[in-house]
């Protein structure tokens, strides 16, 4: 298996970088543009495994897509809610968003649609959403364990109505149902039962739906109403740079006491992970922002923090990877749901930090990392792009850190290491 050694930087980083478009926004925009009537053009769209699997599924469903990677542009010829294909065999790789959003999309169709992913995707939860789709008229035939891929959805449109949904393991199933609901036969009312994790992504969903002309009425934190008959409007849409993927570059400034500016990403971003700037500020960084960039300057010494990351859990690895350099312990709370992502992320971060000689305590839903010296090691990445991207930042401070399978960043950031090394050369 391929590896990459990270060259330690014996000076502060000082760079301006550009980050590709957001995965979450690209895949949402692909879905709603597919349901709109007519051509939408997505600018600064992400080209990566997650979005390319998504685009391919939409195309297989009979909705034409033109990919223009050189211009970072995707054109979608939306069919006004029609799903032309009556049969499709769809593969989503390890893309949680594609798995959830495409399963919901095919429920609007009229035919039979098989969905599958890589082995880890077969372990990620799908069942609560599928129960709602079944109550709305679909039949789901599981090939293996009930509630998991692979399965075939037999659909004849989505009826809508009143549903209860569990969302304590992922918010993506709720986002998926919200986005198809305008095309249901009757109004839809979804009440989340118990805890709703990753709420910021549900806000992002509602915001994107509004940007394409559809209203979601939210009552309190847990109830969502969508009137049937609303229609997405085809449009030009510019995807924001990916805030989660910007976190590694900001973290490089934080640990080296340097400066990194990310172009075209601002504090007004609709991505919850823009709150990484607040986390870094609390750890001693200085933040400068304008209407076209954000810049982080790292302190001489990072401070520890005790933080609930439920809403920004894709950043747990970024924080974990820089935690040993803080002046006091770092506690990351309320993130049990990251055990269901590309890998069990609590376990992965704990294992790799321990491999580096760092003292870490693991709990079911949290971890506590002690500051301390690091012994260089080869980092396992477990097919998880964020393990590779985060621990590359650790390598800037400690000579000899090697990242296994750096190609796994292709999930959301295929040229991550090219841009990372370009940052170091500035
Ligand atoms: O809706 C989305 O685009 C996402 C929601 C989050 O997942 P969960 O809701 O499973 O926590 C996040 O981790 C993922 O990277 C993208
Ligand atoms: C959790 C992630 O992805 P997915 O969309 O597959 O859930 C992620 O990108 O960190």
22 is in an annotated binding site: no
Cβ atoms of residues 297 and 272 within 8 Å? no
pLDDT at 74: 98
Q: pLDDT tens digit string along 361-377?
A: 999 999 999 999 999 99
pLDDT at 1: 63
Query: What residues form DSSP beta bridges with 66?
Result: 75
pLDDT at 19: 98
Its sign, for the CA torsion 90, 272, 194, 365, is positive
Which ligand has the nearest atom to the CA of 22? 1
CA 335 to each of CA 132, 170, 316: distance values in angstroms, whole numbers, following the listed order: 25, 11, 8
**170 alpha carbon to ligand 1 midpoint, in Å?**
7
Nearest-CA residue for ligand 1 atom 10 is 170
Q: What is the CB-side half-sphere exposure of residue 95 using CA atoms within 13 A?
A: 30
Cis amide bond preceding 150, omega within 30: yes
Asked if residue 172 has its Cβ within 6 Å of ligand 1, the reply is yes
Q: pLDDT tens digit string along 171-198?
A: 999 999 999 999 999 999 999 999 999 9
If one counts every other C-beta atom within 10 angstroms of the C-beta of residue 320, the result is 27
**210 alpha carbon to ligand 1 midpoint, in Å?**
19
Nearest-CA residue for ligand 2 atom 7 is 96
Active site (annotated) includes residue 314? yes
Three-state secondary structure call for residue 84: coil
Go through the domains of the chain in sequence order and give each one's CATH number.
3-20+241-425 (3.65.10.10), 23-224 (3.65.10.10)
* DSSP code for 99: H
91, 97, 247: which to mutate for ligand 2, most atoms within 8 A of CB? 97
Atom of ligand 1 nearest to the CA of 100: 1
Asked if residue 345 has its Cβ within 6 Å of ligand 1, the reply is no
The pTM of this model reads 0.98
Asked if residue 386 has its Cβ within 6 Å of ligand 2, the reply is yes
96 is in an annotated binding site: yes
Complex-level ipTM: 0.99
């Amino acid at each position: 298996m391929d590896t990459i050694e990270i060259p330690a930087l014996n000076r502060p980083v000082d760079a301006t970088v550009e980050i590709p478009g957001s995965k979450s926004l690209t895949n949402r925009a692909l879905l709603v543009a597919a349901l709109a009537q007519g051509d939408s053009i997505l600018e600064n769209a992400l080209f990566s495994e997650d979005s390319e699997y998504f685009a391919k599924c939409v195309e297989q469903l009979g909705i034409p897509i033109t990919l223009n990677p050189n211009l970072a542009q995707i054109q979608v010829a939306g069919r006004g809610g029609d799903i032309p294909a009556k049969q499709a065999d769809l593969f989503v790789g390890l893309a949680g968003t594609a798995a959830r959003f495409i399963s919901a999309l095919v429920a609007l169709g009229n035919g039979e649609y098989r969905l599958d992913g890589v082995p880890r995707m077969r372990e990620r939860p799908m069942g609560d959403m599928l129960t709602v789709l079944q109550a709305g008229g679909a039949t789901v035939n599981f090939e293996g364990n009930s509630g998991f891929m692979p399965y075939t959805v037999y659909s004849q449109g989505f009826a809508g109505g009143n549903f209860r949904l569990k969302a304590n393991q992922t918010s993506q199933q709720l986002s998926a149902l919200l986005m198809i609901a305008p095309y249901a036969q009757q109004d839809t009312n979804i009440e989340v039962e118990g805890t709703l994790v990753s709420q910021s992504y549900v806000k992002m969903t509602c915001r994107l739906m509004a940007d394409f002309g559809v209203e979601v009425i939210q009552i309190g934190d847990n109830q969502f109403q969508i009137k049937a008959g609303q229609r997405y409007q085809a449009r030009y849409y510019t995807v924001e740079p990916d805030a989660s993927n910007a976190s590694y570059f900001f973290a490089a400034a934080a640990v080296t006491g340097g400066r990194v500016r990310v172009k075209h990403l601002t504090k007004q971003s609709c991505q919850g992970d823009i709150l990484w700037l607040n986390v870094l500020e609390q750890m001693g960084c200085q933040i400068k922002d304008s209407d076209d960039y954000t810049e982080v300057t790292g302190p001489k010494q990072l401070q520890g923090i005790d933080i609930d990351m439920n809403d920004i859990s894709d950043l747990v690895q970024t924080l974990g990877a820089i935690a040993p350099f803080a002046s006091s312990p770092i506690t990351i709370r309320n993130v049990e749901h990251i055990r269901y992502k590309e890998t069990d992320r609590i376990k992965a971060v704990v294992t790799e930090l321990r491999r580096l000689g760092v003292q870490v305590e693991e709990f079911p839903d949290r971890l506590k990392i002690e500051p301390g010296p690091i012994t260089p090691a080869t980092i396992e990445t477990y097919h998880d792009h964020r393990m590779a991207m985060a621990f590359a930042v650790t390598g800037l401070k400690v000579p000899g850190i090697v990242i296994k399978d750096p190609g796994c960043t292709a999930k959301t950031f295929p040229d991550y290491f090219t841009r990372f090394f370009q940052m170091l050369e500035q």
